[in-house]
Amino acid sequence: MIPSVLPTYNRAPLEFERGEGTWLIATDGSRYLDMGAGIGVNALGHAHPALVAALGAQAGKLWHLSNLYRIPEQQALADALVEKTFADTVFFTNSGTESCELAVKMARKYWYDKGQPDRVNIVTFSGAFHGRSSAAIAAAGSEKMTKGFGPLLPGFVHLPFAAHDAVLSNAIDDTVAAILVEPVQGEGGIRPLPDPCLKGLRELCDQTGTLLIFDEVQCGMGRTGRLFAHEWAGVAPDIMMIAKGIGGGFPLGAVLATEGAASGMTAGTHGSTYGGNPLACAVGKAVLEIVGAPAFLDEVNRKAGLLRQRLEGLVASHPDVFDLVRGVGLMLGLKCRVPNTDLVQAGYAERLLTVPAADNVVRLLPPLNITEDEIAEAVARLDAAAAAVTRKEAGA
């Protein structure tokens, strides 16, 4: 019999009832160290007092107001994002997937309005993940996500990850509207796109007029130690998708764009019932005020250095379990020599939560305000989990 919750997830048999910072408390009272943060969502951990206060204050005033009216909280968050980024304008969504939908529509409409209606293709890269809607799975293109869901939305061109310059420049012709890329692939196995590649993409787009879309749903909002990951490479996109961390756990996403890239999106061309609602935007503003502060990002970098260093040590002491550590800031991946899911499972026994990713990687995406002690504890628990996996492999 089909479960009452549609079984599209292989769920771990863990049930949590509350959270405190980097800790999740299970229904049996046991405490788990959360190094996954809801797959990079709980940027400030669980039940952060400033976010609880922002949500509570807004909940007592107004929950929902249609986009037929001006929403002061939405305006305030849009102003703050515009001030802190390359963008001139923002549309709020409820998820990364919805941000992907709009980014694709925006790029196509831009060229349509420029009198080039055939310029519709979006170039993407293998290992990409942009969400689960029809456009987002067509964008990623992998068999795992698309099989059985045809006919797929046309207009996506898939290139190898970090494609050689020549492959990429040959792919850009007058049918291409935009290049869509994650500066650091998350689901794809924590694979950072090297800075020269990001710079090269920007140059190619500048030469050809092609729009550059960054998907910073997972790698954005302070995760890599800069407010947005592309800032490390010193290049800016024309359009950017965000979600996850911006809401700190409340569903919120957005598309940020330059005035030029957004020029086709006039009144009536797009909309959302809930996107930019007062509750989400009140929380988003509180998150941005904390995460966007330079001193906070300095701390993220300091702690990221500490975690990275300890993980390098962990890899060195378990060469049979781990191959290497990679990633940027507090978006780190342990590429495994054993099945990554074995390590994630062994972590549960140590009351440690991590997240598997493609390419046999275990992801670490802790709350950005994780403490030094919690970093030490996480590495100690990973060490114990790795030892347990080694014993299991040896048949002990």
Judged by the rule CB under 6 A, the positions of this chain that interact with ligand PLP are 39, 95-97, 100, 129-131, 182, 186-187, 215, 217-218, 243
218 is in an annotated binding site: yes
Q: Is 132 labelled a binding residue? A: yes
Residue with the two structure tokens 């007092």: 49
d(CA 109, CA 107): 6
155 carries a ligand binding annotation: no
**Min. distance of Cβ 99 from ligand PLP in angstroms?**
7
Considering the complex, state which of residue 36 and residue 45 has its C-beta at the smaller distance from ligand PLP.
Answer: 36
Known active-site residue 215 = yes
Residue 389 marked ligand-binding: no
Give the residue with the Cβ less far from ligand PLP, 37 or 379: 37
Which of 277, 314 has the CB closer to ligand PLP? 277
Separation CA 207–CA 201 (nearest Å): 10
Catalytic residue among 34, 215, 238, 342: 215
Least distance (Å) from ligand PLP to the CB of residue 182? 5
- Integer Cα distance of 361 and 333 in angstroms: 6
Q: Least distance (Å) from ligand PLP to the CB of residue 140?
A: 9
Q: Is 273 annotated as a binding residue?
A: yes
- Percentage helix, strand, coil, to 5, in the chain? 40, 20, 40
Starting at the edge strand found earlier in the chain, the sheet holding 23-26 runs 16-20, 23-26, 31-34, 352-353
Q: Is 347 exposed, middle or buried (0-12, 13-18, 19+ CB in 10 A)?
A: buried
Please, what is the minimum distance in Å from the beta carbon of residue 273 to ligand PLP? Answer: 16
How many helices and strands in the chain, by DSSP H and E? 12, 17
Structure tokens belonging to residue 102: 């709009």
Catalytic residue among 91, 92, 125, 129: 129
Q: Which residues are tagged catalytic?
A: 129, 215, 244
Q: Which residues are annotated as a binding site for N(2)-acetyl-L-ornithine?
A: 132, 272
Q: Which residues are annotated as a binding site for pyridoxal 5'-phosphate?
A: 96-97, 129, 215-218, 273
